A and B are shown apart, each in its own frame.
Chain A
């Protein structure tokens, strides 16, 4: 039984990512339940996707039982806190989408360190993915959702890398090359993070903190 919670905001493809992970699991013969809640805002509202891979009854991950949190937006990572398991993994994008109400009221937007601390307190491993401005030859930015998936597949062992790549290619054939490029970059990045974990640059500190 594997539980995942994916969070982000409208327009970041949280639901597409969740559906792709579900498909990987379905093809591996698992039963899947999930739940995706988005807000009324067409862009910029919170989106949460729960995924339960393996036999379950509730579409929601029980509190304290998420093996992995995938966060496409930094502040949204906080919404997933109740779900993280002791010893779980939080993979967090550095992307910030401050809502207009926060900008207008000059309210505080959480720092990566504040978010990381909370996860570490709960015994989770927190990996913050540094922003990279890599682009494809056509000048298109790599979609963050697939980069995150690449990192997850390197850090966890749910499915083989090949299996996920095949699923990505079949899922949205028109975007396959872009999505695969992002996935591979994420995979590579995770390897870099893991490899450098012994030395102590800021990223690795975050990566190796917790259990």
Chain B
């Protein structure tokens, strides 16, 4: 969306736009909210020649590809969520110590408040650990400007730059003032300099470390107008703020019409120490605003101590603000009000707000209607029961992605979720600890390619008895259906070779590998039973496309006339054992909502009365299909028996 030189962009997209304006040539990343839209934004531009963009197989690979391109002289961007930075950390540190030739910008979005359900972490620690210059935008405009600037800075000083954002900036929208994208035509070259690009000799490693620190201090002199300091001589109060809290502060200050001294911290590393000292000299009382860890706050205390300054420093240390979760406008107003001795505004109608909270509906993650994972988990549960194993004692470790919805009701199958690929090694460890009941690991296809394979190799070599269910829905679904090495196409839709999971499992040394179509419930249950009984590592690959991407016509199921007994002695299994919003319980019995039904047939499989089916006449099928085609433009019918 754009009007003249303004574009309405999210913070994520703005980073990508900044990279385009800087002439980025290679962009890599791994999907993970809230960073996904950066690469998404660049992909359409990758059609146009001077830019290559990809979803890499994992974040470590993404950083390495981007660094390779930058070392050969091009500008490159790599984007990921904070969990990804952990995966990439080993290479990140090594590359940071080596430095770079072409501009290398690493964009990471910290999910403050864990909206997307992973470990809440402050990635600024990596800035400290890797001697990485780090910039922090406060809104989409700054995300765009800082991304663009980061490429220049990176090349001037010869260091990768970390651009660190947070969920609420990545998800913010703003009409951003933009400039023209540019295409830099550069010849790629790379000279052999083992003392810089290898870690083969310890003295080289130490020199690289010294050089990285040296580059960090050089960056300080190239920051220009960043880190603006404003002294209000009339006020004894000051605020140091970074990231989104700066925007909240501005909002509060402008609505209260007050003046105080402020320092906005744009560069976390190196910190503008002299400006912090300058502010501390002018005030008696200072509030530090930063989400998560009190890193700027602790440095502020250190600077005050070193320079013999003693204003009161408020923030997390004195419990004015929390170290977990995100800040809000209201929290910042509260903290500022406390410092300024301003009475908080009367909390009006608290009981009404409380009533709204009580009445509101919590929403847990649930599978889409027609999701193949739902059927696979149903089959796992059936297999466990049919083998006479107690459900509540049979452990299935879970993994990242839509597959983890298997921990929710009514499946209740997954017991653990750690990090991508952890399901298999966790299960191996539990086995080794002496749990002798059958143990299963459930993992998605994207996760399998990302970090699942080493765990599988490990399990095979250890000789444990383990059943691994790989749910292959052709996409990295949960983050927005990005392709992976098994999809057969790159994100631009161009054909690519597929890395077949069955062959990969065989190549890892697994002796018992069974591909199944999960929608054939009975066959899937049998395959899982055989896998559980197999003494050793057994892999079942449940192959069926994600219901959300599958655009083919699926004939809906329906309850057969007079077959569903209204006494509900079956406990309405089609709803309560299946957990699909396409089934509705009415007084008369179950009803299938035609519009919602994606024809997976699990309700039919669960019904003990055989009351659900698809006995349509051929003309009805044709009619329904052509209605569907007209509305959707899809031309394939999925065979009825699936």
A residues whose Cβ falls under 8 Å from a Cβ of B:
9, 18-19, 22-23, 26-27, 31-37, 39-46, 56-60, 62-64, 75-76, 78-79, 81-82, 97-105, 107-110, 114-115, 118, 121-122, 138-140
Across the interface, A42 reaches (CB within 8 A) one of B10, B255, B477, namely: B477
Given contacts A40-B478, A42-B368, A104-B410, contact A99 B363 (CB under 8 A): yes
B116 at the interface (CB under 8 A from A): yes
Contact residues of B: prevailing secondary structure: mixed
Q: How far is the CB of A122 from chain B (nearest CB, A)?
A: 6
Complex CA–CA separation, A76 to B408 (angstroms): 21
- Tell whether, in the assembled complex, residue A118 and residue B174 are in contact, meaning their CB atoms are under 8 Å apart: no
Which of chain A's residues have a CB closer than 8 A to the CB of B247? 57-59
- Tell whether, in the assembled complex, residue A45 and residue B356 are in contact, meaning their CB atoms are under 8 Å apart: no
Q: How far is the CB of B488 from chain A (nearest CB, A)?
A: 21
B507 at the interface (CB under 8 A from A): no
Question: In the complex, given contacts A78-B361, A101-B364, A121-B352, what are 8 additional A-B residue pairs having Cβ atoms less than 8 angstroms apart?
Answer: A43-B368, A45-B365, A59-B172, A62-B329, A81-B352, A99-B364, A121-B349, A122-B352
Q: Quick one: which of B329-381 are within 8 Å of A by CB? A: 329-330, 348-349, 352-353, 355-357, 359-366, 368
Which of chain B's residues have a CB closer than 8 A to the CB of A110? 359-361
Please report the total number of B residues contacting A with Cβ < 8 Å.
60
Can you list 20 A-B contacts (CB < 8 A)?
Answer: A18-B173, A22-B173, A26-B6, A26-B8, A34-B172, A34-B173, A36-B171, A36-B173, A37-B167, A58-B250, A59-B173, A81-B352, A97-B581, A99-B364, A101-B362, A101-B408, A101-B409, A109-B361, A118-B355, A138-B631
B residues whose Cβ falls under 8 Å from a Cβ of A:
1, 3, 6, 8, 10, 33, 115-117, 139, 167-168, 171-175, 244, 247-248, 250-251, 254-255, 328-330, 348-349, 352-353, 355-357, 359-366, 368, 402, 405, 408-410, 477-478, 548, 575-576, 579-581, 585, 627, 630-631
Across the interface, B173 reaches (CB within 8 A) one of A32, A43, A98, A122, namely: A32
Q: How far is the CB of A137 from chain B (nearest CB, A)?
A: 11
Q: Which residue of A lies closest to B333 (CB)?
A: A62
Across the interface, B349 reaches (CB within 8 A) one of A43, A45, A58, A122, namely: A122
Which of chain B's residues have a CB closer than 8 A to the CB of A36? 10, 171, 173
- Tell whether, in the assembled complex, residue B361 and residue A75 are in contact, meaning their CB atoms are under 8 Å apart: yes
Across the interface, B363 reaches (CB within 8 A) one of A32, A41, A64, namely: A41
Which of chain A's residues have a CB closer than 8 A to the CB of B248? 57-58
Complex CA–CA separation, A94 to B106 (angstroms): 45
Which of chain A's residues have a CB closer than 8 A to the CB of B368? 42-44
Q: How far is the CB of B174 from chain A (nearest CB, A)?
A: 5
Q: How far is the CB of B47 from chain A (nearest CB, A)?
A: 20
Which of chain A's residues have a CB closer than 8 A to the CB of B328? 60
Which of chain A's residues have a CB closer than 8 A to the CB of B330? 62-63
Which of chain B's residues have a CB closer than 8 A to the CB of A57? 247-248, 250-251, 254
Complex CA–CA separation, A122 to B349 (angstroms): 7
Which of chain B's residues have a CB closer than 8 A to the CB of A62? 251, 255, 329-330
Which of chain B's residues have a CB closer than 8 A to the CB of A101? 362-364, 366, 408-409
